Amino acid sequence: MLSGKNILLIISGGIAAYKVLEVIRRLHDREINIRAILTKGGAEFVTPLSVAALTENKVYQDLFSLTDEAEMGHIRLSREADLVLVAPASADILAKMATGQAGDLATTALLATNKPVMVVPAMNVEMWNHPATQANIATLEGRGVMRVGPAAGDLACGETGSGRLAEPAEIIAAVVDFLEGQPAGKPLAGKKAIVTSGPTHEPIDPVRYIANRSSGKQGHAIAAALAAAGADVTLVSGPVNLPDPTGVKVVRIETARQMLDAVQAALPADIAVCAAAVADWRVAAEAGQKLKKDGSGVIPDLKLSENPDILATISQNGSKRPNLVIGFAAETENVVEHARAKRARKGCDWILANNVAPGSGTFGGDHNEIFLISAVDAASDEVWPRQGKDGVARALVQRISRHFA
């Protein structure tokens, strides 16, 4: 299944570089073609000869090599891969990626690529925890860069904590999951999709509002994956701190009522994915001025009204109902049971249930564990492995593509 897939592997500096040789060997066993760029720092820990022997391809090092540019220009090198894998990803190369530097072959290829990028960080624990590194990681993930690790444990420097390169088996699993989850070609070309994402903010007064902890990462990832599969995508997004997905029309809203209006304006559509965490209630009478404490100890009586049910409205929309309506069920207990009841109550086709209990790391995090509920009985339930939200998005798009096929 992976025969013919191509990876551009960038090996940056760090003692963990030796572990990457095992990654190369095991990916090569799966008939994945690997071309490698070895940075100057990376060459201090592994030799070009060892990398070339395992990849069975030439190793590239010099941006200004006339021979290399004649055989395989850096633009072509960055474009012919299905995935660009940076392992180990040092603090230095992460910083250069975040700021768009292009001072050597590795960073130039990363800046020039239009392919998905996955990084596997490895560094000292203090370097990993430094605000600059964390800001760089946040920037890269906001641009859609995938991350594996780092793991926690004993480090080569003698300290203990987060910063270890993820184990080869974990790296390989992430790469294989990605390559197997890629939609072939443009299976959804000609289809129109609507995706909702993020939280809604329901105002109490001009300063305060009711909201939830949704980051919008999952909804935005789904919109991006649908667009990559050829769909014409409208993303209706609540307030989030995320960049707009490439090739997607984005409509920004604040409240549940605004979200419903935007979704209905985007109809008709073939696919609707309601991934937003819409507030169930709003304040019945929003205050025109900021509510203040007056020293009396009397607490304002906030009467709540129920917000419109966007998923149910779309699912029961008669002739304008999309062919496939998918909802999310964010649950803290009895996840599958509650999701099955929600699907029946709303009238949607599928429910993607996830556990958002404290400690799950789902809200605001980068990973998700999904239960796909598509019928009344448990026999048709699907349990997807815990994976990155980009992986969930690709798996969902594959499932949608099979539905229409």
CATH of residue 170's domain is 3.40.50.1950
Residue 160: which H helix or E strand, with range? strand 160-164
For residue 137, give both structure tokens. Answer: 């990681």
Residue 282 has pLDDT above 60, yes or no: yes
* Mean pLDDT comparison of 124-138, 169-183, 252-266, 360-374, highest-scoring range: 252-266
Distance of CA 337 to the CA centre of its chain: 27
pLDDT above 90 as % of the chain? 50
Flag whether 51 is in a domain: yes
Confidence of residue 253 (pLDDT cuts 50, 70, 90): very high
Q: Please, are residues 31 and 3 in contact by the beta-carbon 8 Å criterion? A: yes
Please tell me the predicted confidence (pLDDT) of residue 92.
94
d(CA 284, CA 287): 10
Please tell me the predicted confidence (pLDDT) of residue 260.
98
Flag whether 257 is in a domain: yes
Whether residues 154 and 249 share a domain: the answer is no
Structural domain harbouring 41: 6-181
For residue 23, give both structure tokens. Answer: 């990654």
Residues in the chain: 405
Strands 281-283, 202-203: pairing is unpaired
CB atoms within 10 A of CB 277: 24
Concatenate the DSSP letters of all residues of 91-108 into one string.
HHHHHHHHHT--SSHHHH
Please tell me the predicted confidence (pLDDT) of residue 23.
93
Q: Which residues contact 364 (CB under 8 A, 6 or more apart)?
A: 213, 214, 215, 217
d(CA 341, CA 169): 38
Q: Which residues are part of a known binding site for CTP?
A: 280, 290, 308-311, 328, 342, 346
Mean of all residue pLDDT scores within the chain: 87
pTM of the model: 0.61
Please tell me the predicted confidence (pLDDT) of residue 251.
98
Q: Please, are residues 242 and 215 in contact by the beta-carbon 8 Å criterion? A: yes
Flag whether 247 is in a domain: yes
Rounded to the nearest 5°, which phi and psi values hold at 14?
Answer: 150, 145
Residue 360 has pLDDT above 70, yes or no: no
Please tell me the predicted confidence (pLDDT) of residue 115.
87
Please, is 15 exposed, middle or buried when counting C-beta atoms within 10 Å of its C-beta (0-12, 13-18, 19+)?
middle
Flag whether 21 is in a domain: yes
Whether residues 82 and 215 share a domain: the answer is no
Strands 387-388, 6-11: pairing is unpaired
Flag whether 359 is in a domain: yes
Please tell me the predicted confidence (pLDDT) of residue 318.
87
Range scoring the smallest mean pLDDT among 180-189, 223-232, 384-393: 180-189
Handedness of CA 221, 225, 182, 88 (dihedral sign): negative
In the listed set 154, 181, 208, which residue is the last one of a domain according to the structure? 181
- 42-71 pLDDT tens trace: 999 999 999 999 999 999 988 766 555 555
Range 34-42 average pLDDT: 92
Flag whether 112 is in a domain: yes
SS3 328: strand
Q: 311: which strand partners?
A: none
In the listed set 131, 162, 181, which residue is the last one of a domain according to the structure? 181
d(CA 300, CA 61): 67
Please tell me the predicted confidence (pLDDT) of residue 51.
93
Residue 274 has pLDDT above 90, yes or no: yes
Range 368-379 average pLDDT: 78
Whether residues 172 and 197 share a domain: the answer is no
Please tell me the predicted confidence (pLDDT) of residue 174.
83
Catalytic residue among 156, 157, 284, 304: 157
Looking at per-residue confidence, does 316 or 66 come out higher? 316
Flag whether 47 is in a domain: yes
In the listed set 145, 162, 181, which residue is the last one of a domain according to the structure? 181
d(CA 13, CA 226): 36
CATH of residue 200's domain is 3.40.50.10300
Residue 17: which H helix or E strand, with range? helix 17-29
SS3 85: strand
Whether residues 100 and 18 share a domain: the answer is yes
Known catalytic residue at 348: no
Residue 178 has pLDDT above 60, yes or no: yes
Whether residues 54 and 122 share a domain: the answer is yes
Q: Please, are residues 147 and 112 in contact by the beta-carbon 8 Å criterion? A: no
Range scoring the smallest mean pLDDT among 107-116, 191-200, 255-264, 388-397: 388-397
Strands 370-373, 350-355: pairing is antiparallel
Confidence of residue 335 (pLDDT cuts 50, 70, 90): confident
Whether residues 85 and 34 share a domain: the answer is yes
Range 141-168 average pLDDT: 78
Number of domains in the chain: 2
Flag whether 187 is in a domain: no
Q: Which residues contact 256 (CB under 8 A, 6 or more apart)?
A: 200, 202, 278, 279, 282, 307, 308, 310
Range 25-32 average pLDDT: 90
Whether residues 273 and 346 share a domain: the answer is yes
- 191-246 pLDDT tens trace: 999 999 999 999 999 999 999 888 999 999 999 889 988 899 999 999 999 888 88
Concatenate the DSSP letters of all residues of 108-146 into one string.
HHHHH--S-EEEEE---HHHHHSHHHHHHHHHHHHTT-E
Whether residues 204 and 111 share a domain: the answer is no
- 79-123 pLDDT tens trace: 888 899 999 999 999 999 999 998 889 999 999 888 889 999 999
Whether residues 370 and 398 share a domain: the answer is yes
- 299-315 pLDDT tens trace: 888 999 999 999 999 99
User: Strand (E) positions, 247-377?
Assistant: 249-252, 271-274, 281-283, 304-306, 324-331, 350-355, 367-368, 370-373
Range 137-153 average pLDDT: 81
